[in-house]
């Protein structure tokens, strides 16, 4: 569902009217007033666990943003060879941190264990280093004023340095923490979300980066949106040698981060400074190290990579049935049909509308779609309707599961009217939520859950009561107008903190249209501290609930997210608009979430609201067909925009989704790689080409995996696209004979008529594909095809690829359970011999399924690639009558143009079992 349109319009208008003001304000805010003189290190010692522990004393107290915390504990530990942790907190009193049970990680020693200090006289102005053998990261510190730096051991590069006269030294107060780092001007930074970045994926100097989960439409630029991810990747290229590292500040409190090009400053309204530095040195290494800490991305069921259709406004079941039938008639693939809250009884969670979605008819519909492999997903919002006849509410009250304000459940308003919010930090709430999911699944056997409005969103602000003498909501007019009787809450420092973050892009009060920040969670935890982990905690509880059903792999889509959310849920980018700008922005947001460890991500195809043009919807499905999560979704007030509504869009959908469904085995293998190493499914080009600086800011193209490049049309009226091709040979996936040879990296203008999206495969790759189909379970059982790419005309070369197959209903995605197979594919061309072979691990599953390789295409062979004889597993193929051999000449779209005949060799009818090692060889003609 959506943010309320009136609120969106108001915020958009505010943004437009106040652009100049906010820019000035941002500049003024970013140039901080001088706050004190920092801290001095007064004692330091080695801890038994190999860590370094110090005591910091404030140098000069002041009351700007509140009193200083006098003594801080400074704790440093090499957690792995490539991960260094720096943790700074109050030395005497425990402070709020992201709960260790939600995000499991090592805990620093308890504070009371570290207060026996030996003061060392020689600490004044001393600079020391701390490292251990095998670690790539070295920490150095200066005693007075205290600062620290993190360096890369291999090249001496300084990755983080808090010592500078240009900004404040360390500031640590109860409700205001500040720390900065110097940066080289040529560093490329990525991350710090969630926000819509108009300048592309690279962080842009002086743009505001505020982190505080907020229900504000994604059309608002440079604004704190639904998720909070205080992590960035820094990519540098020094003398042609690229190095990437990552920096996580694990803190859930609201914060502003100011990036000025040569420095970065954090201003945080609570918690602790808990930094993790990841050494890289490649972008993939950084994400691997990061997700090793925060949790590997969740395994997705195979069908999740199919196409999804949703709309807020499918008023009754017959409309949903018509949508499924119309996709079938239009021959457009469809795996999953969704309901927004139209299926609910009065917008209440875990209910069915008995008139519009009668249970017997819904169950019959689900039997029919389940029988052909389709799936069904519905929405759940966190707000539970205050209704004494509503069983979910009754059981929630009986178990005392709701967030409190002044000892009573905090009252808010969302779609059903008056609601209470479950407190997912409370173990009893999690048990209750799991039980409600079980009860609902018995009512309706859904295949996944969509958790929305979980920032948390509230149509009202402040302390509210249910009005007497009137119905709220009235049932007429917009459902998002606050109709409770409310009064502002500004009496506490939690509701009105001394430092105002740039919330909603307009310095809105932090309790605006959400839970009051002085409300209380389990064990006295304040909403002020836990606000941005609300959606994360709900995702964990929902995952636990789904995992308990029938032992199947959960699928959860969440709007709000935090560090670690990718372990449990997919994400869509929220309420976007049907504009060309929003189409472009979707790529940067998608790529950022890959860095955040949430690789299953996509935007509402064709835009959530208002009405997209026919041309835009054509171009959007050509991009959206290659989002990791591919779903068309629209607003209640928008015209219908299913892909079959326009014949031209249907044709583009058949082309683009047709290719997606052939690529499903590749996408699913990328899902496996994400699950074991964090590797994003959709990646910026610099992940594969880090030495090629031209692609560092590229935000209009992207890769799937390491070598499949999407170069879409993103502008109105264009029938060609200027695409960047990093050095090497690229082959068009829609026409394998079309070749681009980019010697040193080149921009190439490609034809792109309305129904065409350009997709290219890089050299040295083996891409597994299948034949496609209308539903993923059908496409999954078709024969395989391997596309092998060598550099054009290479006399020597090698290519690699892989394939993961499993029973995708099982909760775990791994080898060794008897229900999975992993295959490494290899190919070489050397001394006029071409060899293609496989190395299979645990082949029984694939053999039992009967999967076979029917076709192998080898691209880029020189003109002597003709093959007088082929051997399969050492035996001549002459007697295998079904094997057809073909040679086709490549066409250079860009490159040498010297008339060389570069050939593609095709072998068809091979019938090679996927689950068995094979070798195919041939000698090229002389």
Neighbour tally for 460: CB within 10 Å: 20
Which whole-number Å values give the CA distances from 268 to 86, 230, 500, in the listed order?
16, 11, 10
In the sheet that holds 417-420, the strands lie side by side as 384-385, 417-420, 411-414
Structure tokens at 441: 């699944």
Pairwise CA distance, residues 342 & 364, whole Å: 18
Which whole-number Å values give the CA distances from 742 to 49, 209, 691, 731, in the listed order?
52, 37, 15, 11
Buried b (16+ CB within 10 A) or exposed e, 792-829: bbbeebebebbbbbbebebeebebeeebbbbbebbbbb
Q: Looking at 174, 345, 575, 642, which residue is catalytic?
A: 575
Q: Looking at 455, 529, 604, 808, which residue is catalytic?
A: 455
Half-sphere exposure of 611 (CA within 13 A, CB side): 7
Pairwise CA distance, residues 62 & 195, whole Å: 34
433 contacts 541 by C-beta, under 8 angstroms: yes
Pairwise CA distance, residues 566 & 558, whole Å: 10
608 phi, psi to nearest 5 deg: -75, -35
Q: Looking at 452, 529, 622, 673, which residue is catalytic?
A: 452
Structure tokens at 421: 């919010």
399 contacts 497 by C-beta, under 8 angstroms: no
Residues 6+ apart with CB under 8 A from 654: 330, 331, 332
724 contacts 230 by C-beta, under 8 angstroms: no
Q: Where are the beta strands (DSSP E) in 214-314?
A: 227-238, 241-249, 255-259, 263-268, 273-278, 307-309
SS3 state of residue 338? strand
Neighbour tally for 736: CB within 10 Å: 17
Residue 898 is among the residues annotated as catalytic for this protein = no
Buried b (16+ CB within 10 A) or exposed e, 340-379: bbbbbbebbbbbbbeebbeeeebeebbeebeeebbbbbbb
297 contacts 570 by C-beta, under 8 angstroms: no
Is the Cα dihedral 769, 770, 773, 776 positive or negative?
negative
- DSSP percent split of the chain into helix, strand, coil, nearest 5: 20, 30, 45
Q: Is the preceding peptide bond at 434 cis, omega within 30 degrees of 0?
A: no
Supply the DSSP symbol for 639.
P
SS3 state of residue 648? helix
Which whole-number Å values give the CA distances from 218 to 8, 16, 244, in the listed order?
10, 15, 29
336 contacts 366 by C-beta, under 8 angstroms: no
293 contacts 83 by C-beta, under 8 angstroms: yes
Residue 452 is among the residues annotated as catalytic for this protein = yes
Angle in degrees, 0-180, between the axes of helices 359-371 and 317-330, rounded to the nearest 10: 20
Residue 447 is among the residues annotated as catalytic for this protein = no
Structure tokens at 443: 């009512």
Supply the DSSP symbol for 107.
P
SS3 state of residue 274? strand
The set of catalytic residues is 452, 455, 575
């Amino acid at each position: 569902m959506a943010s309320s349109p009136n609120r969106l319009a108001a915020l958009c208008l505010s943004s437009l009217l106040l652009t100049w003001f906010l820019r000035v304000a941002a500049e003024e805010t970013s140039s901080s007033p001088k706050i004190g003189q920092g801290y001095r290190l007064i004692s330091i010692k080695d801890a038994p666990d190999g860590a370094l522990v110090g005591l910091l004393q404030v140098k000069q107290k002041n009351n700007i943003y509140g009193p200083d915390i006098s003594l801080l504990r400074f704790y440093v530990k090499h957690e792995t060879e490539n991960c260094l942790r720096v943790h700074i907190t109050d030395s005497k009193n425990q402070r709020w941190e992201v709960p260790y049970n939600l995000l499991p990680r090592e805990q620093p020693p308890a504070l009371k264990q570290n207060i026996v200090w030996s003061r060392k006289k020689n600490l004044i102005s001393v600079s020391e280093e701390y490292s251990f053998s095998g670690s790539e990261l070295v920490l150095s510190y200066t005693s007075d004023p205290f600062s620290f730096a993190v360096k890369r051991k291999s090249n001496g590069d300084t990755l983080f340095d808090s010592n500078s006269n240009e900004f404040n030294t360390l500031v640590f107060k109860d409700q205001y923490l500040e720390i900065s780092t110097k940066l080289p001007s040529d560093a490329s930074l990525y991350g710090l979300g969630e926000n819509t970045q108009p300048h592309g994926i690279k962080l842009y100097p002086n743009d505001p980066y505020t982190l505080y989960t907020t229900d504000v439409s994604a059309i608002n630029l440079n604004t704190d949106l639904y998720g909070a991810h205080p992590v960035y990747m820094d990519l540098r290229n020094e003398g042609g040698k690229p190095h990437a590292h990552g920096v996580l500040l694990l803190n859930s409190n609201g914060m502003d981060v100011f990036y000025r090009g040569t420095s970065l400053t954090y201003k945080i309204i609570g918690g602790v400074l808990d930094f993790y530095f990841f050494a890289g040195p490649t972008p993939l290494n950084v994400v691997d190290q990061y997700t090793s800490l925060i949790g590997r991305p969740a395994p997705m069921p195979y069908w999740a990579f199919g196409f999804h259709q949703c709309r807020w406004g499918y008023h009754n079941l017959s409309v949903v049935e018509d949508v499924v039938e119309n996709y079938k008639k239009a021959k457009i693939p469809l795996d999953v049909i969704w309901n927004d809250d139209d299926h609910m009884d009065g917008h209440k969670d875990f209910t069915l509308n008995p008139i519009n979605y009668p249970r017997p008819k819904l169950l019959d519909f689900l039997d029919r779609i389940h029988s052909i492999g389709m799936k069904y997903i519905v929405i759940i919002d966190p707000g539970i309707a205050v209704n004494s006849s509503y069983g979910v509410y009754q059981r929630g009250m009986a178990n005392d599961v709701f967030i409190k304000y002044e000892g009573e459940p905090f009252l808010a308003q969302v779609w059903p009217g008056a609601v209470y919010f479950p407190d997912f930090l409370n173990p009893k709430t999690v048990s209750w939520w799991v039980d409600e999911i079980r009860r609902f699944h018995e009512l309706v056997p859904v295949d996944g859950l969509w958790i929305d409005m979980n920032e948390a969103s509230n149509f009202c602000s402040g302390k509210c009561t249910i009005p007497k003498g009137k119905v709220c909501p009235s049932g007429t007019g917009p459902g998002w107008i606050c109709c409770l009787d409310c009064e502002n809450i500004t009496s506490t420092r939690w509701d009105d903190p001394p430092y105002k973050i740039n919330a909603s892009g307009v310095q809105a009060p932090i309790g605006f249209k959400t839970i009051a920040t002085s409300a209380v969670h389990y064990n006295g935890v304040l909403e002020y501290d836990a606000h941005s982990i609300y959606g994360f905690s709900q995702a964990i509880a929902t995952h636990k609930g789904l995992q308990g059903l029938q032992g199947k792999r959960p699928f959860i889509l969440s709007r709000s997210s935090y560090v670690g959310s990718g372990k449990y849920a997919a994400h869509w980018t929220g309420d976007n608009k049907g504009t060309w700008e929003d189409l472009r922005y979707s790529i940067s947001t998608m790529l950022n979430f890959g860095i955040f460890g949430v690789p299953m991500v996509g935007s509402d195809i064709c835009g959530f609201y208002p009405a997209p043009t026919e041309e835009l919807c054509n171009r959007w499905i050509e991009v959206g067909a290659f989002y990791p999560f591919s779903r068309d979704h629209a607003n209640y007030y928008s015209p219908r925009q299913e892909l079959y509504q326009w014949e031209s869009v249907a044709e583009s959908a058949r082309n683009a989704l047709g290719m997606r469904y052939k690529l499903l085995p590749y996408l699913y293998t990328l899902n496996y790689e994400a699950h074991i190493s964090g590797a994003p499914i959709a990646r910026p080009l610099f992940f594969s080409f880090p030495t090629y600086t031209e692609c560092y800011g590229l935000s209009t193209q992207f890769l799937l995996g390491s070598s499949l490049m999407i170069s879409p049309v993103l502008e109105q009226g264009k029938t060609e696209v200027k695409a960047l091709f990093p050095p090497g040979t690229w082959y068009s996936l829609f026409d394998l004979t079309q070749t681009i040879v980019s010697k040193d990296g080149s921009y190439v203008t490609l034809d792109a008529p309305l129904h065409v999206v350009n997709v290219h495969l890089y050299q040295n790759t083996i891409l597994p594909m299948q034949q496609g189909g209308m539903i993923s379970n059908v496409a999954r059982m078709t024969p395989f095809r391997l596309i092998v790419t060598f550099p054009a005309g290479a006399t020597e070369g090698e290519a690699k690829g892989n394939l993961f197959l499993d029973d995708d209903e099982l909760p775990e995605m791994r080898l060794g359970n008897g229900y999975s197979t992993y295959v490494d594919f290899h190919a070489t061309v050397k001394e006029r011999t071409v060899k293609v072979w496989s190395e299979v691990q645990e082949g029984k599953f694939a053999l039992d399924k009967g999967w076979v390789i029917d076709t192998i295409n080898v691209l880029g062979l020189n003109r002597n690639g003709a093959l007088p004889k082929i051997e399969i597993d050492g035996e001549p193929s002459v007697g295998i009558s079904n094997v057809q051999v073909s040679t086709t000449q490549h066409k250079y779209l860009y490159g040498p143009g010297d008339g060389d005949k570069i050939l593609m060799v095709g072998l068809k009818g091979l019938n090679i079992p996927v689950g068995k090692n094979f070798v195919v060889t041939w000698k090229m003609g002389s």
